[in-house]
Amino acid sequence: MYVKVRIRGIFATALTKLALDWGFSIVQPTGKIVERFDLPVDNSPPDVTVIDHESKSGVVVLGKCGAVEAFVERLREAVDPVVVKADLGVHDVFVGKVVGEGRVEGPGGIVLRVPPRFAPTVGSVGVFTVVRPPLGPVEGVAVPDIIVEGDYVELSTSPGVRFSRHIPEGERVRLRLLAETRLGWLGGLGVRFKSSARFAEDEAVVREVEALYRELVELAKGGEAGAVLRRGRCLALALFDKAAKERLDEVRRSVVPTARGHHALRAQGFGKCLDLLDYLGVEAYERAAEFLARGAVEIWHIKPWGEVVKMRGEAVGVFGDWLVVKRPLRPGGVLDGIGVKIERGFYALTCVPRRGNYVVHTYYTPEGRAVGTYINVNSEPEWGRRIIYIDLLVDVAYVGGEAKVLDLEEYRRYEDVFPARLRPPSGVLPPPVACGERGIIEAPPQSASS
């Protein structure tokens, strides 16, 4: 399948190399990518766009459904990431029934949130557009507008002229003049110029707007509740654990000098200084990661559907192969899986392994008495000022003389998103340990319940 790909972000060199090996075409490349691969400049619109996920530990893949599927399947073969695909697309247009305050039922019975400013009447049926697809258990968002999208523009029933943030000011002036002089007949409709519009001829933009207008008029007629009137862009998320990042390091190394741990260090926020390490070929990842894991740190607990839970703490030190982090707990809630109310002064000691697939949280009273341990099963953590791992959804709580296995149902619901190498072995629990000021504390075996 011939696919045109636009790639941006910290994985751009490695992913460009892979995409070219797959026979894909790179469009709208950056100057650095043109130089590294000696590419001809092709500014045609992409079939699929690949950008960094907010965690800098994965990518968002967005575009034509066949192209997204092709890119993601080849990425699975090459890198073996965690992959979650959205059930609905960005700008899917559908007929929905409002089933509650701020809730509309869409295709397949999926319920999406409607922003409060729209306040549709409960029981009403109308045309909606998905603006944020649901991903995993994260609720999607739809609006009672019609948005139709082409290569260069989005046409909508919300008035106004808007621009992609990637369009420079000079091009915005040109496109605004085009909207005022050639597209004034749109009346109360709105137009948003996509980033590819800056490379397009005026006539191509006008022709696309005319075609999208005809589609919008037809879509406004509606249909049966639950019907998808127009497909938008498909969305997938690929998350890279430590091993996947190492594979991407190898790919990048085949193009330019690349230090071991390059992509893991980029996720820590390294910039120009990492370019120097790459150039010198310095194998400094382990030492750099340990050096960064001092003082104030954040634990980035990444859910497989991309949600990032951030926990702030203070590194106590490294003891053997364990990094210990002390975290104050906010009073008022109840400790997950432990069932103990959090009082003022409670804190957690978190033990993060240098090698291993779980993180140990032990909770303490202000007097230093342990009230329980929660063990999170996850991908191998990356150390640094950001301690990064992907949650594998299975947890074990040790409290009151027994082990309690948690979240098995959730794991089974999303098991297929994990590559086989990351799936926890059935029936194998993390050992009964606790985290103390000086690292891991062995605990006597406990019985298990779920």
Helix (H, G, I), strand (E, B) or coil at 283: coil
Instruction: Tell me the per-residue pLDDT of 66-100, one tens digit each, with 9 for 90 and over.
Output: 999 999 999 999 999 999 999 999 999 999 999 99
Judged by DSSP in three states, 217 sits in helix
Q: Which of 402, 404, 403, 406 is nearest to 392 (CA)?
A: 406
User: pLDDT tens, 214-238?
Assistant: 999 999 999 999 999 999 999 999 9
The residue count for the chain: 450
- Kindly report, as residue ranges, where domains of CATH 2.40.380.10 are found in the chain: 295-449
Structure confidence at residue 442 (pLDDT) = 79
* CATH of region 295-449: 2.40.380.10
306 — phi, psi (to 5°)? 100, -10
**Average of pLDDT values for 348-355?**
96
Task: Enter the CATH code of domain 93-231.
Answer: 3.30.230
65-79 and 242-253 helices cross at what angle (nearest 10)?
90
Banded model confidence at residue 443, pLDDT cuts 50, 70, 90: low
**CA–CA separation, 54 and 135 (whole Å):** 15
Q: What is the pLDDT of residue 427?
A: 64
Report the run of H or E that residue 152 belongs to, with start and end: none
Q: Angle at Cα 303 formed by Cα 298 and Cα 307, nearest 5°?
A: 75
Is the pLDDT at 444 greater than 60? The verdict is no
**Average pLDDT, integer, range 296-305:** 98
Instruction: Return mean pLDDT, the chain.
Output: 94
What does pTM read for this prediction?
0.94
Residue 273's pLDDT band (cuts 50, 70, 90): confident
β 370-378/141-143 pair status: unpaired
> In 275-346, which ranges are E strands?
296-302, 308-319, 322-328
Q: Give the residue range(s) of CATH 3.30.230 domains in the chain.
A: 93-231
User: Rounded to whole angstroms, what are the CA distances from 415 to 136, 301, 358, 407, 421?
Assistant: 12, 18, 17, 12, 12
- Name the band, by pLDDT with cuts 50, 70 and 90, for residue 424: confident
CB-count burial class (<10 Å; 0-12, 13-18, 19+) for 273: exposed
Instruction: Determine what percent of the chain is predicted with pLDDT higher than 90.
Output: 86
- pLDDT, one tens digit per residue, over 274-285 is 887 787 776 778
Confidence (pLDDT) at 275: 80
What digits encode the pLDDT tens for the residues 27-46? 999 999 999 999 999 999 99
Q: What average pLDDT does this structure show over 398-404?
A: 80
Amino acid at 439: G
